[in-house]
Amino acid sequence: MLCLATVHGVINLRNFRYVALLEATSFLLLLVASYFKHFEEQGTGVDVLGPIHGFLFVAYVVMALALRDEQGWDLRTTALILLGAVLPFGGYVVDRWLENRERAGTA
């Protein structure tokens, strides 16, 4: 299934960078919504953002693993990219790193 998606151009570095930014943003919004749920007793934000962030997180991981060979990422690089999905602001750091790598011509 991953091969079919890759062949049709769905999983590519540009789309992965978009997903990384969306995943990081949804994570930060979910953290804010969690504050409101626990301290202001308003859980609607978590109810809405939780599934959205979950979908983006899974998409991020699947895309990162699918792009690993194509991009020539070694185990350490792949692990750091995956770590970016679980750290606040991690997706922004990964996106910036990929952008710098692309500008340097090593992508």
Q: Residue 43: inside a domain, yes or no?
A: yes
The domain in which residue 81 lies consists of 13-103
Q: Estimate the share of the chain in helix, then strand, then coil, as percent rounded to the nearest 5.
A: 80, 0, 20
CA 42 to CA 61: how far, in whole Å?
30
Q: What is the pLDDT of residues 19-73, one digit of tens each?
A: 999 999 999 999 999 998 888 888 888 999 999 999 999 999 999 999 999 999 9
Whole-structure pTM value: 0.86
Residue 14 has pLDDT above 90, yes or no: yes
Count of domains forming the chain: 1
Q: Residue 8: inside a domain, yes or no?
A: no
Q: What is the pLDDT of residues 59-95, one digit of tens each?
A: 999 999 999 999 999 999 999 999 999 998 999 999 9
Block residue for tokens 């792949």 = 78
